[in-house]
């Protein structure tokens, strides 16, 4: 995860403040200063457009991984609860890698409307079959998220088999991210940010602004994790269920905008000491009400699905005893390696569609 229209004002304000400060202090502008002003933002040495909202939002992705831990059985709970902060904090890693790691960007979405008759199961559900029909480049162009979930599921199963704690945690966090993305309606269409319907910014509005405002009232008691007999089908089911909600996402926002007008649609709030242009609380509330629990349903589905997949990977690995792994701590060398890797993600080496 990433920019949205209504946060561009925030970024420009932050950059202006830092620039003016540099004139007074006589020191050069540093990207790190922008990050310090807005600690949740992605940024690069080229001062890419930054945002407090990655895909599903930092907040939502972290909450989904955190809540999924509590769906797990007693054999898994102590290990995952011990490392719950890691799983939550690193839930956003795939978004941070989008501009710096080859092949990362397409793993977060699939444009179902780029294919014909997907509802009749003509689109190959397995990656090998899909590449044979369409070619790898064409698939990547329109997104890979259901196939990426299947691949990451295999990787986590192997990590459990090897009892590789560091890899278990890293891959589990990544898997949670891709699953959450698959449950977002706007991750299933070429009109991913309303850019084709004059609704630019709706992506972040739906998946970040609404959860931040209203998710404290959501019911996240989803029940215990269950074994998934067909992970491949589960991944595609999530994508199709999310896509089925797309019409409401776009239509209700468009209709509400026509009713209230642009001036009442937006407002200003203080964020990290900076005045930010945001979707107004009243507009957000009305839109959220019209969706009738849609965001809550998709977040709940994400939480349950993440728990189900983690559990399934553990079972498929032979149910290794995780008690002996619960006290794992990164060594000083591993911590340094992690920090260097994350630092490398700050560089914008590749283009990716802005959401």
141 within some domain: yes
**Cα angle, residue 12 at apex, residues 7 and 18 outer, rounded to 5°:** 130
pLDDT of residue 35: 37
> What pLDDT is recorded for position 184?
98
d(CA 79, CA 115): 42
Is beta strand 266-271 parallel, antiparallel or unpaired with respect to 274-279?
antiparallel
How far is residue 179's CA from residue 309's CA, in Å, rounded to a whole number?
Answer: 9
The label of the residue with tokens 């939480």 reads 303
Specify if 40 maps to a domain.
no
Residue 176 has pLDDT above 60, yes or no: yes
Could you tell me the CATH number of the domain that includes residue 114?
Answer: 1.10.575.10
Judging by beta carbons within 10 Å of its beta carbon (0-12, 13-18, 19+), is residue 6 exposed, middle or buried?
A: buried
Q: Is 292 exposed, middle or buried (0-12, 13-18, 19+ CB in 10 A)?
A: exposed
Could you tell me if residue 29 is inside a domain? no
**For residue 13, is it within any domain?**
no
| pLDDT higher than 50, residue 244 | yes
The reported pLDDT for the residue numbered 272 is 82
Show the domain range for 247: 55-335
C-alpha–C-alpha distance, residues 22 and 29, integer Å: 6
Buried b (16+ CB within 10 A) or exposed e, 137-169: eebeebbbbbbbbbebbebbbbbbeeeebeebb
Q: In this predicted structure, what is the pLDDT of residue 1?
A: 40
pLDDT at 57: 64
Number of other residues whose CB lies within 10 A of the CB of residue 96: 18
The pLDDT assigned to 355 comes to 64
Give the number of other Cβ atoms within 10 Å of residue 212's Cβ. Answer: 17
Neighbours of 173 (CB within 10 A): 24
Q: Is residue 88 part of a domain?
A: yes
Report yes or no on 214 lying in a domain: yes
Query: What per-residue confidence (pLDDT) applies to 204?
Result: 94
- The number of folded domains in the chain is 1
Any idea of the CA torsion for 206, 211, 214, 218, to the nearest 10 degrees? 120
Mean pLDDT of the 78-101 span: 94
């Amino acid at each position: 995860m990433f920019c949205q229209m209504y946060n561009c004002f925030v970024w420009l304000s932050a950059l202006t403040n830092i620039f003016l400060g540099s004139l007074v202090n006589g020191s050069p502008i540093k990207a790190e200063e922008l990050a310090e002003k807005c600690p949740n933002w992605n940024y690069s040495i080229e001062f890419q457009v930054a945002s407090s909202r990655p895909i599903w939002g930092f907040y939502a992705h972290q909450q989904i991984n955190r809540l999924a831990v509590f769906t797990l059985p007693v054999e898994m709970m102590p290990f995952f609860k011990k490392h719950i902060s890691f799983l939550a904090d690193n839930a956003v890693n795939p978004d941070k890698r989008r501009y710096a790691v080859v092949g990362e960007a397409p793993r977060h979405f699939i444009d179902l409307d780029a294919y014909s008759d997907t509802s009749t199961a003509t689109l190959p559900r397995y990656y090998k079959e899909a590449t044979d029909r369409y070619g790898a480049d064409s698939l990547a162009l329109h997104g890979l998220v259901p196939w990426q979930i299947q691949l990451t599921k295999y990787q986590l199963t192997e990590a459990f088999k090897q009892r590789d704690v560091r890899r278990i945690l890293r891959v589990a966090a990544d898997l949670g991210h891709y699953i959450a993305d698959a449950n977002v309606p706007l991750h299933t269409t070429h009109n991913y940010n309303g850019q084709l319907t004059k609704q630019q910014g709706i992506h972040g509005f739906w998946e970040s602004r609404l959860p931040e405002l209203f998710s404290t009232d959501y019911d996240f008691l989803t029940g215990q994790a269950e074994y998934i007999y067909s992970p491949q089908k589960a991944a595609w089911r999530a994508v199709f269920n999310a896509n089925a909600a797309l019409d409401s996402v776009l239509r209700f926002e468009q209709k509400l905008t026509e009713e209230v007008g642009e001036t009442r649609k937006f407002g200003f709030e203080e964020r990290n000491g900076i005045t930010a242009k945001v979707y107004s609380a009243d507009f957000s509330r009305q839109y959220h009400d019209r969706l009738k629990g849609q965001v809550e349903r998709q977040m709940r589905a994400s939480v349950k699905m993440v728990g189900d997949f983690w559990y399934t990977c553990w079972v498929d690995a032979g149910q290794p005893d995780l008690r002996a792994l619960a006290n794992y701590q990164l060594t000083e060398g591993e911590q340094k390696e992690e920090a260097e890797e994350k630092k490398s993600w700050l560089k914008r080496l590749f283009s990716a569609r802005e959401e």
